[in-house]
Structure 1
Amino acid sequence: MRPQVICLMMTSPDGSLHPSRWTKSPDGARSDWSALYEKVHKEHGGNAWMVGRVTMAEISKAGPHPPSEATEAKRPSHFARPGASSFAIAIDPSGKLHFSGDELYGDHVVVLLGSEVPDSHLAELAADGVSYAVSDTEEIDVGAMLELLAEKLGISRVLLEGGANVNGFLMVAGLVDELSLIVAPALEGKRGSDRVIEFGDEGLAGKVELSLLSCETLGHGAVHLRYSVRRPR
Protein backbone atom coordinates (compact mmCIF):
# COMPACT_ATOMS: atom_id res chain seq x y z
CA MET A 1 0.00 0.00 0.00
CA ARG A 2 1.35 3.42 -0.91
CA PRO A 3 1.70 6.24 1.65
CA GLN A 4 -0.92 8.97 1.98
CA VAL A 5 0.18 12.01 -0.04
CA ILE A 6 -0.79 15.55 1.01
CA CYS A 7 0.18 18.42 -1.30
CA LEU A 8 1.11 21.27 1.05
CA MET A 9 1.76 24.70 -0.46
CA MET A 10 1.67 28.36 0.57
CA THR A 11 0.51 30.99 -1.90
CA SER A 12 -0.83 34.50 -2.27
CA PRO A 13 -4.44 34.97 -3.46
CA ASP A 14 -3.14 35.61 -7.00
CA GLY A 15 -1.21 32.33 -7.02
CA SER A 16 2.35 33.50 -6.41
CA LEU A 17 4.78 31.15 -4.66
CA HIS A 18 7.55 33.66 -3.96
CA PRO A 19 7.10 35.61 -0.68
CA SER A 20 10.14 37.75 -1.52
CA ARG A 21 8.04 39.33 -4.32
CA TRP A 22 4.86 39.80 -2.30
CA THR A 23 3.32 43.05 -1.14
CA LYS A 24 3.54 43.94 2.55
CA SER A 25 0.54 43.41 4.81
CA PRO A 26 -0.44 45.03 8.13
CA ASP A 27 -1.66 41.56 9.22
CA GLY A 28 1.72 39.89 9.18
CA ALA A 29 5.23 39.65 7.77
CA ARG A 30 6.88 37.02 5.59
CA SER A 31 8.50 35.50 8.67
CA ASP A 32 5.06 35.09 10.29
CA TRP A 33 3.70 33.22 7.27
CA SER A 34 6.81 31.07 7.04
CA ALA A 35 6.37 30.11 10.69
CA LEU A 36 2.73 29.24 10.04
CA TYR A 37 3.77 27.04 7.13
CA GLU A 38 6.20 25.14 9.33
CA LYS A 39 3.53 24.76 12.00
CA VAL A 40 1.03 23.27 9.53
CA HIS A 41 3.77 21.06 8.09
CA LYS A 42 4.38 19.54 11.53
CA GLU A 43 0.68 19.24 12.33
CA HIS A 44 0.14 17.06 9.24
CA GLY A 45 2.32 14.45 10.90
CA GLY A 46 4.15 13.23 7.81
CA ASN A 47 7.32 11.20 8.10
CA ALA A 48 8.54 12.31 4.65
CA TRP A 49 8.43 15.33 2.35
CA MET A 50 8.83 15.22 -1.40
CA VAL A 51 9.77 17.71 -4.13
CA GLY A 52 10.75 17.68 -7.78
CA ARG A 53 14.22 18.14 -9.24
CA VAL A 54 14.11 21.91 -9.66
CA THR A 55 12.92 22.55 -6.10
CA MET A 56 15.45 20.11 -4.64
CA ALA A 57 18.27 21.74 -6.63
CA GLU A 58 17.44 25.00 -4.83
CA ILE A 59 17.77 23.21 -1.49
CA SER A 60 20.80 21.01 -2.16
CA LYS A 61 23.37 23.11 -3.97
CA ALA A 62 26.07 20.45 -4.25
CA GLY A 63 27.80 19.80 -7.57
CA PRO A 64 29.00 16.58 -9.20
CA HIS A 65 31.71 14.82 -7.20
CA PRO A 66 32.77 11.29 -8.17
CA PRO A 67 33.35 9.05 -5.14
CA SER A 68 36.92 8.97 -3.85
CA GLU A 69 36.75 5.20 -3.48
CA ALA A 70 35.16 2.51 -5.64
CA THR A 71 31.47 2.22 -4.71
CA GLU A 72 29.08 -0.42 -5.96
CA ALA A 73 26.15 0.90 -8.01
CA LYS A 74 23.28 -1.33 -6.91
CA ARG A 75 20.08 -1.61 -8.93
CA PRO A 76 17.14 -1.25 -8.72
CA SER A 77 17.40 0.22 -5.22
CA HIS A 78 19.78 1.06 -2.41
CA PHE A 79 18.54 1.92 1.07
CA ALA A 80 21.40 3.31 3.11
CA ARG A 81 19.45 4.02 6.30
CA PRO A 82 16.31 1.86 6.54
CA GLY A 83 16.05 2.72 10.23
CA ALA A 84 15.73 6.48 9.69
CA SER A 85 12.62 8.13 11.14
CA SER A 86 12.07 10.89 8.58
CA PHE A 87 12.87 11.33 4.90
CA ALA A 88 13.43 13.94 2.18
CA ILE A 89 12.36 12.51 -1.20
CA ALA A 90 13.41 13.94 -4.56
CA ILE A 91 12.01 12.95 -7.96
CA ASP A 92 14.95 13.19 -10.36
CA PRO A 93 14.32 11.27 -13.63
CA SER A 94 17.61 12.23 -15.30
CA GLY A 95 19.95 11.99 -12.32
CA LYS A 96 20.92 15.66 -12.21
CA LEU A 97 20.80 16.17 -8.45
CA HIS A 98 23.85 15.98 -6.18
CA PHE A 99 24.14 16.00 -2.40
CA SER A 100 26.87 16.77 0.11
CA GLY A 101 25.59 14.21 2.60
CA ASP A 102 22.74 11.88 3.42
CA GLU A 103 20.50 14.40 5.24
CA LEU A 104 18.59 17.61 4.60
CA TYR A 105 17.07 19.42 7.59
CA GLY A 106 17.72 16.25 9.60
CA ASP A 107 15.78 14.03 7.16
CA HIS A 108 17.43 11.16 5.30
CA VAL A 109 17.60 11.76 1.53
CA VAL A 110 15.92 9.35 -0.90
CA VAL A 111 16.02 9.90 -4.68
CA LEU A 112 13.61 8.43 -7.23
CA LEU A 113 15.46 8.00 -10.53
CA GLY A 114 14.75 7.16 -14.16
CA SER A 115 15.86 3.90 -15.73
CA GLU A 116 18.58 5.54 -17.86
CA VAL A 117 20.56 7.05 -14.98
CA PRO A 118 24.20 5.84 -15.29
CA ASP A 119 25.94 3.69 -12.69
CA SER A 120 28.42 6.50 -12.06
CA HIS A 121 25.64 8.66 -10.64
CA LEU A 122 24.33 5.81 -8.49
CA ALA A 123 27.85 5.29 -7.14
CA GLU A 124 28.07 8.98 -6.21
CA LEU A 125 24.75 8.84 -4.35
CA ALA A 126 25.73 5.65 -2.52
CA ALA A 127 29.09 7.13 -1.51
CA ASP A 128 27.26 10.12 -0.03
CA GLY A 129 25.02 7.78 1.98
CA VAL A 130 21.94 8.70 -0.05
CA SER A 131 19.20 6.11 -0.64
CA TYR A 132 17.69 5.69 -4.10
CA ALA A 133 15.29 3.68 -6.22
CA VAL A 134 15.67 3.30 -9.99
CA SER A 135 12.59 2.90 -12.16
CA ASP A 136 12.31 -0.32 -14.15
CA THR A 137 10.16 1.43 -16.75
CA GLU A 138 10.99 4.26 -19.16
CA GLU A 139 8.59 6.63 -17.39
CA ILE A 140 8.93 6.72 -13.62
CA ASP A 141 6.07 4.92 -11.89
CA VAL A 142 5.97 7.10 -8.79
CA GLY A 143 3.07 5.14 -7.33
CA ALA A 144 5.03 1.88 -7.44
CA MET A 145 8.07 3.60 -5.97
CA LEU A 146 6.03 5.05 -3.10
CA GLU A 147 4.74 1.56 -2.35
CA LEU A 148 8.35 0.38 -2.24
CA LEU A 149 9.31 3.19 0.17
CA ALA A 150 6.37 2.30 2.40
CA GLU A 151 7.47 -1.34 2.49
CA LYS A 152 11.21 -0.81 2.91
CA LEU A 153 11.39 2.44 4.90
CA GLY A 154 8.04 2.60 6.69
CA ILE A 155 7.01 5.85 5.01
CA SER A 156 3.30 6.31 5.73
CA ARG A 157 2.50 9.97 4.99
CA VAL A 158 4.28 12.20 2.46
CA LEU A 159 3.99 15.97 2.24
CA LEU A 160 4.33 16.91 -1.43
CA GLU A 161 5.76 20.44 -1.59
CA GLY A 162 6.37 21.30 -5.24
CA GLY A 163 7.17 22.35 -7.80
CA ALA A 164 4.04 22.98 -9.80
CA ASN A 165 4.74 20.40 -12.52
CA VAL A 166 5.38 17.60 -10.03
CA ASN A 167 2.24 18.55 -8.09
CA GLY A 168 0.14 18.43 -11.26
CA PHE A 169 1.67 15.21 -12.57
CA LEU A 170 1.02 13.34 -9.32
CA MET A 171 -2.52 14.70 -9.08
CA VAL A 172 -3.39 13.49 -12.57
CA ALA A 173 -1.80 10.14 -11.71
CA GLY A 174 -4.20 9.81 -8.77
CA LEU A 175 -1.41 9.85 -6.21
CA VAL A 176 -2.45 12.96 -4.25
CA ASP A 177 -5.07 12.46 -1.55
CA GLU A 178 -5.34 16.01 -0.23
CA LEU A 179 -4.46 19.58 -1.17
CA SER A 180 -3.49 21.62 1.89
CA LEU A 181 -3.23 25.26 0.88
CA ILE A 182 -2.12 28.20 3.04
CA VAL A 183 -3.19 31.54 1.55
CA ALA A 184 -1.32 34.60 2.85
CA PRO A 185 -2.67 38.19 2.70
CA ALA A 186 -0.28 39.45 0.03
CA LEU A 187 -0.09 39.84 -3.75
CA GLU A 188 2.57 39.68 -6.43
CA GLY A 189 0.61 40.58 -9.56
CA LYS A 190 3.51 39.91 -11.90
CA ARG A 191 2.86 38.45 -15.33
CA GLY A 192 4.08 34.87 -15.75
CA SER A 193 4.26 34.07 -12.04
CA ASP A 194 4.57 30.45 -10.97
CA ARG A 195 1.50 28.44 -10.08
CA VAL A 196 0.83 26.04 -7.24
CA ILE A 197 -0.10 23.32 -9.75
CA GLU A 198 0.50 22.95 -13.49
CA PHE A 199 -0.11 20.22 -16.05
CA GLY A 200 1.39 21.31 -19.35
CA ASP A 201 -0.82 22.95 -21.96
CA GLU A 202 -3.72 20.65 -21.14
CA GLY A 203 -4.45 21.89 -17.63
CA LEU A 204 -6.40 19.87 -15.08
CA ALA A 205 -9.98 20.36 -16.32
CA GLY A 206 -11.70 16.99 -16.37
CA LYS A 207 -8.75 15.26 -14.70
CA VAL A 208 -9.05 16.22 -11.02
CA GLU A 209 -11.87 17.08 -8.61
CA LEU A 210 -11.55 18.94 -5.29
CA SER A 211 -13.93 18.81 -2.36
CA LEU A 212 -13.57 21.15 0.63
CA LEU A 213 -12.63 19.42 3.88
CA SER A 214 -12.05 22.44 6.11
CA CYS A 215 -11.30 26.16 6.21
CA GLU A 216 -9.35 27.62 9.13
CA THR A 217 -8.01 31.07 10.01
CA LEU A 218 -4.40 30.67 11.09
CA GLY A 219 -3.55 34.15 12.29
CA HIS A 220 -1.54 36.98 10.71
CA GLY A 221 -4.26 37.14 8.05
CA ALA A 222 -3.53 33.69 6.62
CA VAL A 223 -6.17 31.07 5.81
CA HIS A 224 -5.71 27.30 5.67
CA LEU A 225 -7.83 25.47 3.09
CA ARG A 226 -7.94 21.68 2.92
CA TYR A 227 -9.43 19.80 -0.04
CA SER A 228 -9.78 16.13 -0.80
CA VAL A 229 -8.41 15.31 -4.26
CA ARG A 230 -9.76 12.63 -6.58
CA ARG A 231 -9.96 11.81 -10.24
CA PRO A 232 -13.41 12.10 -11.86
CA ARG A 233 -15.38 8.86 -12.01
Structure 2
Amino acid sequence: MKPYIICLMLTSPDGSLHPSRWTSSPDGTKADWSKLYEKIHAEHHGNAWMVGRVTMAEISKAEAHPPQKPVDVERPFHIARRDAGSCAIAIDKSGKLHFSSGELYGDHVIVLLGADVPDSHLAELAADGVSYLVSEHREMDIAKMLDWLGREFGIKRLLLEGGAAINGSLLAAGLVDELSFLIAPALEARSGSDRVVEFGTEGLGGKTSLSLISCETLSYGALHVRYKVHPPV
Protein backbone atom coordinates (compact mmCIF):
# COMPACT_ATOMS: atom_id res chain seq x y z
CA MET A 1 0.00 0.00 0.00
CA LYS A 2 1.26 3.48 -0.90
CA PRO A 3 2.69 5.45 2.02
CA TYR A 4 1.03 8.67 3.17
CA ILE A 5 3.11 11.29 1.36
CA ILE A 6 3.83 14.72 2.81
CA CYS A 7 5.63 17.24 0.59
CA LEU A 8 7.79 19.10 3.12
CA MET A 9 9.69 22.14 1.89
CA LEU A 10 11.42 25.24 3.26
CA THR A 11 10.72 28.26 1.07
CA SER A 12 10.58 32.04 0.91
CA PRO A 13 7.30 33.75 -0.07
CA ASP A 14 8.69 34.18 -3.60
CA GLY A 15 9.31 30.43 -3.85
CA SER A 16 13.08 30.30 -3.43
CA LEU A 17 14.77 27.18 -2.05
CA HIS A 18 18.16 28.75 -1.32
CA PRO A 19 18.41 30.24 2.21
CA SER A 20 21.99 31.38 1.52
CA ARG A 21 20.56 33.90 -0.97
CA TRP A 22 17.76 35.19 1.26
CA THR A 23 17.49 38.52 3.00
CA SER A 24 18.10 38.60 6.76
CA SER A 25 15.46 38.01 9.40
CA PRO A 26 13.89 41.15 10.95
CA ASP A 27 16.37 41.38 13.84
CA GLY A 28 19.25 41.66 11.38
CA THR A 29 20.60 38.15 11.89
CA LYS A 30 20.58 35.09 9.69
CA ALA A 31 18.07 32.59 11.04
CA ASP A 32 19.11 28.96 11.46
CA TRP A 33 16.63 27.71 8.87
CA SER A 34 18.16 24.23 8.64
CA LYS A 35 17.69 23.66 12.38
CA LEU A 36 14.09 24.86 12.21
CA TYR A 37 13.45 22.63 9.18
CA GLU A 38 14.90 19.58 10.94
CA LYS A 39 12.57 20.23 13.89
CA ILE A 40 9.51 20.25 11.63
CA HIS A 41 10.83 17.19 9.78
CA ALA A 42 11.03 15.24 13.05
CA GLU A 43 7.56 16.35 14.15
CA HIS A 44 6.02 14.71 11.07
CA HIS A 45 7.13 11.28 12.36
CA GLY A 46 7.89 9.88 8.91
CA ASN A 47 9.82 6.67 8.54
CA ALA A 48 11.26 7.63 5.14
CA TRP A 49 12.21 10.68 3.09
CA MET A 50 12.56 10.99 -0.67
CA VAL A 51 14.32 13.37 -3.05
CA GLY A 52 15.22 13.57 -6.71
CA ARG A 53 18.57 12.84 -8.34
CA VAL A 54 20.00 16.37 -8.21
CA THR A 55 19.13 16.84 -4.54
CA MET A 56 20.49 13.42 -3.57
CA ALA A 57 23.74 14.04 -5.47
CA GLU A 58 24.27 17.15 -3.33
CA ILE A 59 23.76 15.02 -0.22
CA SER A 60 25.74 11.87 -1.07
CA LYS A 61 28.66 13.56 -2.89
CA ALA A 62 30.07 10.15 -3.88
CA GLU A 63 31.80 9.34 -7.19
CA ALA A 64 31.55 6.23 -9.38
CA HIS A 65 33.50 3.28 -7.96
CA PRO A 66 33.11 -0.18 -9.51
CA PRO A 67 32.96 -2.99 -6.92
CA GLN A 68 36.29 -4.64 -6.13
CA LYS A 69 34.76 -8.12 -6.21
CA PRO A 70 32.20 -9.70 -8.58
CA VAL A 71 28.61 -9.05 -7.53
CA ASP A 72 25.56 -11.04 -8.59
CA VAL A 73 23.16 -8.53 -10.12
CA GLU A 74 19.48 -8.90 -9.25
CA ARG A 75 16.56 -7.51 -11.24
CA PRO A 76 14.07 -5.98 -10.84
CA PHE A 77 15.04 -5.36 -7.22
CA HIS A 78 17.68 -5.93 -4.58
CA ILE A 79 16.99 -5.61 -0.87
CA ALA A 80 20.19 -5.05 1.09
CA ARG A 81 18.45 -5.04 4.49
CA ARG A 82 14.92 -5.43 5.81
CA ASP A 83 15.37 -4.22 9.38
CA ALA A 84 15.81 -0.51 8.63
CA GLY A 85 13.84 1.73 10.96
CA SER A 86 13.96 4.62 8.48
CA CYS A 87 14.89 5.03 4.82
CA ALA A 88 16.42 7.62 2.47
CA ILE A 89 14.95 7.23 -1.02
CA ALA A 90 16.13 8.69 -4.32
CA ILE A 91 14.49 8.68 -7.75
CA ASP A 92 17.28 8.23 -10.29
CA LYS A 93 15.94 7.29 -13.72
CA SER A 94 19.32 7.31 -15.47
CA GLY A 95 21.43 5.64 -12.78
CA LYS A 96 23.78 8.55 -12.12
CA LEU A 97 23.84 8.50 -8.32
CA HIS A 98 26.64 6.96 -6.26
CA PHE A 99 26.95 6.28 -2.55
CA SER A 100 29.77 5.65 -0.10
CA SER A 101 27.64 3.17 1.89
CA GLY A 102 24.09 1.95 2.30
CA GLU A 103 23.28 4.64 4.89
CA LEU A 104 22.73 8.40 4.97
CA TYR A 105 22.21 10.11 8.33
CA GLY A 106 21.54 6.65 9.76
CA ASP A 107 18.78 5.94 7.21
CA HIS A 108 18.95 3.00 4.81
CA VAL A 109 19.39 4.10 1.17
CA ILE A 110 16.93 2.91 -1.49
CA VAL A 111 17.10 3.99 -5.13
CA LEU A 112 14.25 3.85 -7.66
CA LEU A 113 15.76 3.38 -11.11
CA GLY A 114 14.79 3.50 -14.78
CA ALA A 115 14.57 0.38 -16.92
CA ASP A 116 17.75 1.12 -18.92
CA VAL A 117 20.17 1.29 -15.99
CA PRO A 118 23.12 -1.06 -16.73
CA ASP A 119 24.06 -4.05 -14.59
CA SER A 120 27.39 -2.43 -13.75
CA HIS A 121 25.60 0.35 -11.87
CA LEU A 122 23.35 -2.12 -10.04
CA ALA A 123 26.45 -4.08 -9.00
CA GLU A 124 27.97 -0.91 -7.52
CA LEU A 125 24.82 -0.12 -5.55
CA ALA A 126 24.55 -3.67 -4.22
CA ALA A 127 28.22 -3.73 -3.21
CA ASP A 128 27.66 -0.51 -1.24
CA GLY A 129 24.71 -2.00 0.65
CA VAL A 130 22.09 0.05 -1.20
CA SER A 131 18.65 -1.39 -1.95
CA TYR A 132 17.09 -0.66 -5.34
CA LEU A 133 14.06 -1.21 -7.55
CA VAL A 134 14.35 -1.10 -11.35
CA SER A 135 11.34 0.00 -13.37
CA GLU A 136 9.79 -2.67 -15.57
CA HIS A 137 8.98 -0.13 -18.27
CA ARG A 138 10.71 2.85 -19.88
CA GLU A 139 8.28 5.21 -18.15
CA MET A 140 8.67 4.76 -14.41
CA ASP A 141 5.45 3.83 -12.63
CA ILE A 142 6.11 5.76 -9.40
CA ALA A 143 2.76 4.76 -7.91
CA LYS A 144 3.64 1.08 -8.28
CA MET A 145 7.12 1.70 -6.88
CA LEU A 146 5.66 3.46 -3.85
CA ASP A 147 3.42 0.45 -3.23
CA TRP A 148 6.54 -1.72 -3.31
CA LEU A 149 8.27 0.51 -0.77
CA GLY A 150 5.31 0.26 1.57
CA ARG A 151 5.07 -3.50 1.19
CA GLU A 152 8.77 -4.42 1.40
CA PHE A 153 10.02 -1.83 3.90
CA GLY A 154 6.92 -1.02 5.92
CA ILE A 155 7.05 2.66 4.95
CA LYS A 156 3.83 4.33 6.08
CA ARG A 157 4.69 8.06 6.18
CA LEU A 158 7.08 9.43 3.58
CA LEU A 159 8.41 12.98 3.46
CA LEU A 160 8.86 14.21 -0.11
CA GLU A 161 11.57 16.88 0.03
CA GLY A 162 12.32 17.98 -3.55
CA GLY A 163 13.53 19.10 -5.93
CA ALA A 164 10.81 21.00 -7.69
CA ALA A 165 10.38 18.59 -10.63
CA ILE A 166 9.91 15.55 -8.36
CA ASN A 167 7.44 17.46 -6.21
CA GLY A 168 5.49 18.53 -9.28
CA SER A 169 5.44 15.10 -10.92
CA LEU A 170 4.10 13.36 -7.81
CA LEU A 171 1.51 16.10 -7.28
CA ALA A 172 0.39 15.81 -10.90
CA ALA A 173 0.10 12.04 -10.49
CA GLY A 174 -2.19 12.46 -7.48
CA LEU A 175 0.30 10.77 -5.15
CA VAL A 176 0.85 13.60 -2.63
CA ASP A 177 -1.51 13.62 0.37
CA GLU A 178 -0.34 16.75 2.13
CA LEU A 179 1.71 19.93 1.60
CA SER A 180 3.76 21.09 4.58
CA PHE A 181 5.56 24.35 3.85
CA LEU A 182 7.89 26.19 6.19
CA ILE A 183 7.68 29.77 4.91
CA ALA A 184 10.49 32.11 5.92
CA PRO A 185 10.10 35.92 6.17
CA ALA A 186 12.79 36.47 3.55
CA LEU A 187 13.12 37.06 -0.18
CA GLU A 188 15.55 36.10 -2.91
CA ALA A 189 13.99 38.35 -5.58
CA ARG A 190 15.88 37.02 -8.58
CA SER A 191 14.76 35.26 -11.75
CA GLY A 192 15.81 31.82 -12.91
CA SER A 193 16.00 30.32 -9.43
CA ASP A 194 14.68 26.94 -8.31
CA ARG A 195 11.11 26.82 -7.10
CA VAL A 196 9.20 24.64 -4.63
CA VAL A 197 7.09 22.91 -7.28
CA GLU A 198 7.61 22.67 -11.03
CA PHE A 199 5.04 21.19 -13.40
CA GLY A 200 5.50 19.90 -16.92
CA THR A 201 3.54 21.15 -19.94
CA GLU A 202 0.40 19.30 -18.83
CA GLY A 203 0.35 21.01 -15.42
CA LEU A 204 -1.70 19.20 -12.80
CA GLY A 205 -3.75 17.42 -15.42
CA GLY A 206 -7.00 18.26 -13.65
CA LYS A 207 -8.55 20.28 -10.87
CA THR A 208 -6.68 19.70 -7.62
CA SER A 209 -7.84 21.49 -4.48
CA LEU A 210 -6.25 22.22 -1.10
CA SER A 211 -7.85 22.53 2.32
CA LEU A 212 -6.07 24.07 5.29
CA ILE A 213 -5.00 21.69 8.07
CA SER A 214 -3.12 24.15 10.25
CA CYS A 215 -1.06 27.34 10.28
CA GLU A 216 1.50 27.84 13.04
CA THR A 217 3.76 30.80 13.82
CA LEU A 218 7.37 29.78 14.47
CA SER A 219 10.53 31.57 15.58
CA TYR A 220 12.18 34.18 13.32
CA GLY A 221 8.70 35.15 12.07
CA ALA A 222 8.36 31.96 10.00
CA LEU A 223 5.09 30.16 9.32
CA HIS A 224 4.41 26.43 9.12
CA VAL A 225 1.44 25.90 6.83
CA ARG A 226 -0.12 22.50 6.18
CA TYR A 227 -2.67 21.70 3.47
CA LYS A 228 -4.56 18.52 2.66
CA VAL A 229 -4.29 17.72 -1.06
CA HIS A 230 -7.50 16.64 -2.77
CA PRO A 231 -6.59 15.09 -6.14
CA PRO A 232 -8.76 15.37 -9.26
CA VAL A 233 -11.99 13.37 -9.02
TM-score of the two chains, using structure 1 as the length reference: 0.96
Deviation at 1:3, TM superposition (A): 0.6
User: Which letter maps to 2:16?
Assistant: S
| Equivalent-residue separation in structure 2 for 1:29 and 1:155 (angstroms) | 39
Deviation at 1:194, TM superposition (A): 1.2
| Equivalent-residue separation in structure 1 for 2:132 and 2:126 (angstroms) | 8
User: Which letter maps to 1:16?
Assistant: S
| Equivalent-residue separation in structure 2 for 1:32 and 1:51 (angstroms) | 22
DSSP 3-state at the match of 1:229: strand
Q: Map Cα deviations across residues 177-233 of structure 1 (whole Å, 9 max, x no partner).
A: 000000001110011121100012443474532221111111211000001112222
Q: 1:202 to 1:28 in 2, by over 3 A?
A: farther
User: Which letter maps to 1:199?
Assistant: F
- Structure 1, unmatched stretches of 5+, are none
Aligned partner of 1:213 in structure 2 is 213
| Equivalent-residue separation in structure 2 for 1:166 and 1:28 (angstroms) | 34
Aligned partner of 1:89 in structure 2 is 89
Moved segments of 4+, more than 4 Å: 27-31
| Equivalent-residue separation in structure 2 for 1:159 and 1:29 (angstroms) | 29
Q: 1:140 to 1:21 in 2, by over 3 A?
A: same
TM-score of the two chains, using structure 2 as the length reference: 0.96
Deviates more, 1:28-37 or 1:82-91: 28-37
Q: 1:29 to 1:172 in 2, by over 3 A?
A: farther
- Structure 2, unmatched stretches of 5+, are none
Aligned partner of 2:71 in structure 1 is 71
Q: Map Cα deviations across residues 137-158 of structure 1 (whole Å, 9 max, x no partner).
A: 1111111111111111111110
Aligned partner of 2:191 in structure 1 is 191
Q: 1:129 to 1:112 in 2, by over 3 A?
A: same
| Equivalent-residue separation in structure 1 for 2:85 and 2:166 (angstroms) | 24
Q: Map Cα deviations across residues 60-115 of structure 1 (whole Å, 9 max, x no partner).
A: 11111110000011011111011110100000011010001111111110000011
Q: CA RMSD in A?
A: 1.4
Deviates more, 1:89-98 or 1:208-217: 208-217
Deviation at 1:28, TM superposition (A): 7.6
